[in-house]
Amino acid sequence: MEKVHLKEKLSLFSDHWNPRIVGELNGQHVKLVKFQGEFVWHRHEEEDELFYVLKGEFDMQFRDKTVRLREGEFIIVPRGVEHRPVAEKEVAVMLFEPASTLNTGDAGGEMTKEELEKI
């Protein structure tokens, strides 16, 4: 049992759309990620996802609406719901999701990260 200092962990990387695992509990991964720009439209058929904004802000786009998320706010995207995060400027986000979750869900492609680094 050791504490995790989020600012320290975030300082260890600068790339975008490449989540790092910073903790595990009950089959869930706690991940940190930085992103900027548009991600791919995708869905997760079996997993819910929680996005918690640590620094900055971004839009979570859904096919029928867009939700703006700012520091200290989170959103839970239910399984099966198509979504796409978009950030005009760099944002730092903590994710809570099942360990089986692929970042690009059903979309696949070059942005998919199958093996995540633990930091």
In 10 A of CB 72, how many CB atoms? 9
Q: Where residue 119 falls among pLDDT bands split at 50, 70, 90?
A: very high
Identify which has the larger pLDDT, 47 or 110.
47
Q: How far apart are CA 89 and CA 110, in angstroms?
A: 22
Least confident of 2-11, 46-55, 90-99, 104-113: 104-113
pLDDT tens string 42-98 = 999 999 999 999 999 999 999 999 999 999 999 999 999 999 999 999 999 999 999
Domain ranges of the chain: 6-98
- CATH, range 6-98: 2.60.120.10
Identify which has the larger pLDDT, 114 or 88.
88
Is 118 a residue whose pLDDT tops 90? yes
**Phi/psi-derived region of residue 17, left when phi > 0, alpha when psi is between -120 and 50, beta in every other case:** left
